[in-house]
Structure 1
C-alpha cells in the first residue's frame, strides 16, 4: 500500500501567525490545546496546582479568570509558577486588562468593543503592545451585543461574524494585529457556520470551541462533532474543549480529537473492541485500567486491545503493541505488528504497562540520538 493517502489529507487554512508567550499560534504552527482553570484566581496556590496538573496532561496554553483586583494581584505569582503561557480572561473591566498585562499575562481575552471609550481601548492596546501580549477576541452566542440581537432577531452566524468583525476593526484601527478570534456557540450548527464564514473573511488565527458543551460524555461528543468538522475542513489554529469536568479532562479530550484526525500525536492511542461474547478477557475493564495507568506516557505510540482473534491480529499488525484474547486465560502479544509471545490473564495489565513504558523509552532514546547526530 502506498504511504501517500490523499483521502486522509487535511489542507489547513492559511492564517498569519501570532505568538502567545512562547507558543506560536496560526501559520504552520501545531494546533495548540488550551483549557481554563476553575479555581478562584485569587487563590494562587490552588490555581498553580491546577495549572500544573493541566500542564502534565499536555496543555499548551491555560486561561485564568481575572474578574477583580485580587485576581490580577495573584497573577504575577501564577505566571511565574506556570510553564506554559497564561491568558487573562477579562470581560468589561479594562483596568483588569492593564493590570494583567503588567503582571505577565501572555494574552488578554477581551472584546475591545465592550470596554467603553476609545481612550480605554487605546490604553489596553498600549499595555498589550508594551508587555508583548496577544489579544483574544471572544464572541459568544450567549452574550451577543444588544444591537445585533435586535438587528437579527436571534443569535445566527451572520450576527456572530459581524460582532467579530466589529471588534477586529477596533484593534486594526489602533494598529494592533496580534490577535486571534473565537465565535463560539453551544449549538454545533451555529458554531460551524459562523467559524466557516469568518474563516473566509479574515486571515487571523482562529480559536475553536463549542461553548457550554456539557458534561464529560455529552460535551466530548458535541465538541468532537463541531470542532472535528471544522478541523477536518482545515479551519482552526488552537482549540479548547469546554466541559463540565476538570480542566485536565478538557486537555485529554482535545488531544483525542487531534489524534483522531492525525493532526497531533501525544501519548498512547488505544485501538480496542467494544467487547462481545467471544472475548477472552474483560476488554472494558482492561482498557479503562490501561488508559488510567498510561496517562503518564507522552511519547506517541499505538496500542491495540482486542478480545478475540477475529479482528485482533489485523489491528495488531497496525500498532506498536497489541494483545488479542486467547483460550484458557493465555493471550497473544504482538510487538511492531508481529506475534511475539503469550501472557497469562493475571499478568496481562502489568505486562502491557511495562511493554509500553519500555517502548516509550526506546522511542525517546532514538529521537535523542537522532538529535545529537543532527547537531
Structure 2
C-alpha cells in the first residue's frame, strides 16, 4: 500500500522541487564553523555521500555569509542559510548565492527589514523557510495559549507566513519543531489543515544517536504515514552524517524512498551458533558506499534462514559447522567450517555487486 501525501504547492530550492508531487527530501545541517570553508565543504561532501539532498549552514556573522559563495563553488547540493534576527546577514547570504533562508520574518526588526529580505529573496530566486521552535514562540502567544502549545506554534507560523504573503512572496515552506514528540505531531497536524505550503518536519533536540533515532522515527513516522512532510531532518546529537542512515531507513520502512542496501538480520537467540552480531557489522561495513537499493540477509539459522528472508537478493545463514549462501531463498553455496563462511559470503557478495553493476 502506498501512502497518500498531503497535497501542497510546489517550492523551488536551487535545483530541487519540493512538495507533494516530488519525493520527500532528506536534509541535514553542518556543525562546522561556516567561516572554515574547507571543513564545511568536507562535511557537506560527507553528507551528500550519505544521501543528504539539502544542507543548512549557520550564518553567525558577515564573514560566514560571504563564505557561502566559496562553499557554493565546491558543492552541488542546495544550501540554506540559518539566520537569527539579523536581516543584513540574510541579504548578504543571498548575495553570496545561498538557495534558501531559514528565518522568522517577525524577528528581524520590523516591516522595512522584511521588505528588504523579501526583495532580495525574489531577486535571487531563493526560498524562505519559516521555522518556529517551541522556544521561539512570541511572548503574546505564550500568554494567550498558556505556553508553547501546538496552537501557539501554528499561530506563530501563520503570522510569519502572512508577512511574506502580504509582500506577494509564496516560495515558502514551514517547520514547527519541539523536543516533545506529541507536541510535534499535534503541531504539524494543525498546520497541515491551515495551509498548503510544503512542510519541513523534525523533532528538535531529539538527543543522542539511539534516543534521537527513536524519538525522530516515532514522530516523523507518524506524520509521514499520515501524508504530512515534504522535507525532513533527523536531528541527532552526533555526527550529522549519522542522521542520513536513520532518515533513509525511516523513508524505506514507509515505502516512500529507497536508497542503499536494506540489511535483514534476525535477532540473536539460544539457537544461534555463529557470531551473528559481528557478522552483521562486517557486512554493513562492506556495503558502505553502495547506493543501489538491494536486500541483504544475515541470518543465524541454517534451517529457517533462507525461508524467512526469501525476498533478499543475497543472504547468508550460519550454523556451528556449516553455513549457506542463498539468493532469493535458493541456496547457491554451502560452506563447511564457520571460519570460512564470512570469506565465502564476501566473495559471493562482491560477485553479486559486479553482476548488478554490469546489468
TM-score by length of 1: 0.92
2:327 paired residue among 320, 332, 335: 335
The residue aligned with 2:139 is 146
Matched residue SS, 2:228: coil
Matched residue SS, 1:91: coil
2:284 paired residue among 272, 291, 312: 291
The residue aligned with 1:75 is 68
Change (3 A) 1:318 1:114: same
* 1:304/1:315 contact within 8 Å kept: no
What is the CA–CA distance in structure 1 between the aligned matches of 2:6 and 2:347, rounded to whole Å?
Answer: 41
Per-residue deviation, residues 205-233 of structure 1 (Å, max 9, x unmatched)? 00010000000000000000000000011
Change (3 A) 1:312 1:107: same
Change (3 A) 1:278 1:202: same
Matched residue SS, 2:274: coil
1:21 paired residue among 4, 14, 39: 14
Q: State the superposition RMSD in angstroms.
A: 1.4
1:36 paired residue among 15, 29, 44: 29
Per-residue deviation, residues 296-323 of structure 1 (Å, max 9, x unmatched)? 1000011111101354122331111111
The residue aligned with 1:219 is 212
| Structure 2: gaps of 5 or more residues | none
The residue aligned with 1:265 is 258
Change (3 A) 1:311 1:135: farther
| Structure 1: gaps of 5 or more residues | 1-7, 367-375
1:205 paired residue among 192, 198, 201: 198
Per-residue deviation, residues 58-88 of structure 1 (Å, max 9, x unmatched)? 1000110001011112111111111210111
Is 1:187 matched with 2:205?
no
Change (3 A) 1:263 1:354: farther
Per-residue deviation, residues 4-34 of structure 1 (Å, max 9, x unmatched)? xxxx331111111111111111132111101
The residue aligned with 1:308 is 301
Q: How many residues align?
A: 358
TM-score by length of 2: 0.96
What is the CA–CA distance in structure 1 between the aligned matches of 2:23 and 2:292, rounded to whole Å?
Answer: 16
Displacement of 1:180 after TM fit?
Answer: 0.6
Displacement of 1:150 after TM fit?
Answer: 1.4
Matched residue SS, 1:304: strand
The residue aligned with 1:241 is 234
2:39 paired residue among 12, 36, 46: 46
Which deviates more from structure 2 when the two are superposed, residues 312-321 or residues 187-196? 312-321
